[in-house]
Amino acid sequence: MNILSEHACWGGVQRFVTHDSRECAAPMRLAVYEPPQARAHAVPVLYYLAGLTCTDETFTIKAGAQRLAAEHGLMLVAPDTSPRQPRIAGDDASWDFGIAAGFYVDATVAPWSAHYRMYGYVTRELPEFVAAHFPADVRRQSIMGHSMGGHGALVGALRNPASYRSVSAFAPICAPSRVPWGEKAFTGYLGPDRDDWRQYDASALVEQAPFHSEILVDQGSADQFLAGQLRPELLADACRRSGQGLRLRMQAGYDHSYYFIQTFMPEHVAWHAAALRASG
């Protein structure tokens, strides 16, 4: 692990680090916030997965979450949104595929399959890495995300319910198999067989096996991507059919930005903190 920078923040420390990822066979950046409580004992971990075009810095700079993590005694872990090197031909040809658009899948199509393994990176490698290098109790962890990262958080939790106490999302891509962003990414990373896409589609997964507790989703009504890319109604329908608890809140007038995210972040962090405090 290489520490890029560290900053005192709300009595704790905000760090930016890089490490060599086994899953991605690439160096990966991430941001880790250690709350003041971590000086005395290992603390639970809350992961945040960011959206298209974002980096490990986006949430860290814009979401106002360190204050809340310090209040609740949680570590915040925000990985980058894709590998960035070694470079692959075409990886920056569009903003919604390749660099900063890993879509939290393990690619099976060459050349992406060599490095674009963000699903395994987030769900398998990252908890091990965090446990090895930080005062974290990864038996207690939860996950949230925004947009593409909301999709990643939902998929990670639905496929690994024993790993996460709780899951929430801001404006997630709820049914990626059925919207342009997801269709482009899944075709490129996974190939044309739509059966292979179901393992990365929250609205499909939730019908196979619900999560063990209620899912929290906030969605702005003025979000420019709501009808075309996000489609929370498809997740709501699937949850209804499978008996999955879903607290889907339409937030009047809010858009897709971090001005929306920061407004509702306190309720998301409190939601996760309550689950992480529970015994078990």
Q: Which token pair is 245? A: 């608890």
Which of the residues 82, 147, 166, 168 is marked catalytic? 147
> CB-wise, 149 or 220, nearer to a copy of itself?
220
Q: Are 28 and 79 in contact (CB under 8 A)?
A: yes
Using CB under 8 A as the binding criterion, the count of chain residues that bind a copy of itself stands at 23
Q: Which of 4, 11, 20, 193 binds a copy of itself (CB under 8 A)?
A: 11
Name residue 48's beta-bridge partners: 144
CA dist., res. 81 & res. 103, Å (int): 8
Compare residues 74 and 105 and give the one whose CB is closer to a copy of itself: 74
Nearer to a copy of itself, 177 or 262 (CB): 262
Q: Taking CB under 8 A as the rule, which mask of x and - marks residues 259-278 in contact with a copy of itself?
A: xx-xx---------------
Residues 240-259 that bind a copy of itself (CB under 8 A): 251, 253-255, 257-259
Instruction: Please tell me the distance from the alpha carbon of residue 68 to that of residue 212, in angstroms, as a whole number.
Output: 25
CB of 256 to a copy of itself, least distance (A): 9
Q: Catalytic residue at 106?
A: no
Residue 64 near a copy of itself by CB under 8 A = yes
Residue written as token pair 């814009």: 62
Which residue has tokens 């860290």? 60
Q: Is 8 in the site for a copy of itself (CB under 8 A)?
A: yes
Q: Least distance (Å) from a copy of itself to the CB of residue 271?
A: 18
Smallest CA-to-CA distance from 114 within 83, 90, 93 is with 83
Please say which residue, 10 or 213, places its beta carbon nearer to a copy of itself.
Answer: 10
**Residue in 80, 106, 201, 223 annotated catalytic:** 223
Task: Name which of 229, 227, 239, 166 is nearest 202 in CA terms.
Answer: 239
Alpha-carbon distance of 116 to 257, in angstroms, equals 26
Count H helices, E strands: the chain? Answer: 9, 9
Within 167-226, the residues that bind a copy of itself by CB under 8 A are 220, 222
- 14 touches 31 (CB < 8 A): yes
In the bound state with a copy of itself, the residue whose beta carbon lies nearer, of 197 and 254, is 254
| Count of Cβ atoms closer than 10 Å to residue 270 Cβ | 13
Phi/psi at 25 (5° precision): 45, 50
Q: Is 223 an active-site residue?
A: yes
Q: Is 147 a catalytic residue?
A: yes
* Cβ proximity of 235 and 203 under 8 Å: yes
Please identify which of the residues 72, 146, 151, 256 carries the catalytic annotation: 256
Using CB under 8 A as the binding rule, whether residue 57 contacts a copy of itself is answered as no
Q: Which residues bind a copy of itself (CB under 8 A)?
A: 7-11, 14, 61-62, 64, 66-67, 220, 222, 251, 253-255, 257-260, 262-263
- Give the catalytic positions in this structure: 147, 223, 256
